[in-house]
């Protein structure tokens, strides 16, 4: 989780917040996170583990939460990282 923790810190989270969020993320149960974050985490997981299963519903959830341009950016960046 080193890169994730670094990015959370760069985003402005304090050390204790980074630790808590990283721990919650690592469980795979993202139900406590806001809908937009759940959509982003679900996208990242799916593109990392089963990219051929990305659906129109997945894309629609991203667009609803982030708008079209940001959704494309999330898909592109996650794909690039993989």
Summarised one tens digit per residue, pLDDT across range 5-15 is: 888 899 899 99
Mean pLDDT throughout 65-78? 94
> How many other CB atoms sit within 10 Å of the CB of residue 18?
20
Q: Within the chain, how many helices (H) and strands (E) appear?
A: 5, 0
pLDDT confidence of residue 3: 80
pLDDT above 60 (res 77): yes
pLDDT confidence of residue 1: 56
pLDDT confidence of residue 5: 87
pLDDT in tens, 20-61: 998 898 888 999 999 999 999 999 999 999 999 999 999 999
- Rounded to the nearest angstrom, the gap between the alpha carbon of residue 38 and the centroid of all alpha carbons in its chain is 7
């Amino acid at each position: 989780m080193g890169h994730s923790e670094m990015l959370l810190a760069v985003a402005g989270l304090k050390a204790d917040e980074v630790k808590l969020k990283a721990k919650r993320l690592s469980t795979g149960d993202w139900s406590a996170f806001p809908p937009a974050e759940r959509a982003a985490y679900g996208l990242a997981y799916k593109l990392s583990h089963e990219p051929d299963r990305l659906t129109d519903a997945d894309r629609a959830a991203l667009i609803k939460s982030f708008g079209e341009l940001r959704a494309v950016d999330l898909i592109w960046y996650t794909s690039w990282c993989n």
